[in-house]
Amino acid sequence: MRPEPAIPHEPGAPKPDPVLTVTGMRRSFGGLRAVDIDHLEIQRRTITSLIGPNGAGKTTFFNLLTGFEAPDQGDHMLDGDLLLGIPAHQVAQRGMVRTFQLTKVLPRLTVLENMLVAAKDQPGSSFLGALRGGWGGQERENEKEAGEILDRFGLAAMADEYAGRLSGGQRKLLEMARVLMVRPTVIMLDEPTAGVNPVLIQSLLEHVKDLRDAGMTVVLVEHDMDVVQSISDWVVVMAEGHVIAEGPPKVVARNPAVIEAYLGRHRGVEDQ
């Protein structure tokens, strides 16, 4: 489902079916206001790209949304569920799962173990559950699910290799595949194509589209404008902590405020 054409192309625009709603979110580091967003809604079942020049506050915003950092003020709702003060692991359990700019596989676990760690339903994950035993049946089911996902991501042959042996691109794939084991509703990808070769980028993007088509909402931070233009349903532009523009990719690319944010404000490049 794509956003309706009726959504105004302006910061804070209301969406017909927002899965994520951010209100009055502020976060400062010393004197620097890293994130200062009055209102933002993310439409369900879309790919929304978050772009902006370096230092715009995109990664900090990601951290705030996923509970890895706490905002000074403001809150956000996931599916009508207030996430104020909820720690990172509970945000993930509630269905919003992130990846990292610097890929974080678990190197001395196998690819399959990387997947199984993320499995949502596993009574043996608690200490008492592990002692009690009887988690083997669930383990078989999780292995089956993990095997299917690995197959889709072309990693099935590597299932028993240590994740530390994978190439950079394969690690990105594994990180994305692993997220699915948590059964998320919203997937937050922090620079999914950084350091990935162009051939693999295409297959990565196909996977991202598949996630949306399977009913998930994808929010991604991305620097590569070709990538943004090719897969985004909606683009949110940040600069100096604010959302300065949002809209469909083609519209945003023509927005004077966006061009100004990327090329410099008030003054020409030569004056700086």
Binding residues for other proteins, total number by CB under 8 A:
42
> Could you give the C-alpha distances from 242 to 66, 99, 115, 170, in angstroms and in order?
18, 23, 36, 34
Interface with other proteins (CB under 8 A), residue from 2, 104, 144, 250: 104
Q: What letter does residue 165 receive in the DSSP assignment?
A: G
- Positions 111 through 150 that interact with other proteins (CB under 8 A): 113-114, 116-120, 122, 124-127, 129-131, 135, 139
Does 105 bind other proteins (CB under 8 A)? Our answer is yes
**Tokens in use for 127?**
């200490």
Stretch that binds other proteins, among 14-22, 38-46, 158-166, 258-266 (CB under 8 A): 158-166
Interface with other proteins (CB under 8 A), residue from 46, 48, 49, 66: 66
Give the integer Cα–Cα distance in Å for 175 and 102.
11
116 vs 244, beta carbon nearer other proteins: 116
Minimum distance between the CB of residue 106 and other proteins, rounded to whole angstroms? Answer: 4
Dihedrals phi, psi of 207, to nearest 5 degrees: -65, -40
Does 90 bind other proteins (CB under 8 A)? Our answer is yes
Q: What letter does residue 2 receive in the DSSP assignment?
A: P
Residue 8 CA from chain centroid, whole number: 24
- Positions 159 through 198 that interact with other proteins (CB under 8 A): 162, 164-165, 178-179, 181-182
Dihedrals phi, psi of 39, to nearest 5 degrees: -160, 140
Does 88 bind other proteins (CB under 8 A)? Our answer is yes
Stretch that binds other proteins, among 34-42, 109-117, 152-160, 199-207 (CB under 8 A): 109-117
Q: Which long-range contacts (CB under 8 A, 24 or more apart) does 203-208 make?
A: 203/154, 204/169, 204/172, 204/173, 204/176, 205/230, 205/231, 207/152, 207/153, 207/173, 207/176, 208/47, 208/176
Minimum distance between the CB of residue 76 and other proteins, rounded to whole angstroms? Answer: 17
Minimum distance between the CB of residue 22 and other proteins, rounded to whole angstroms? Answer: 19
- Positions 200 through 239 that interact with other proteins (CB under 8 A): none
17 vs 121, beta carbon nearer other proteins: 121
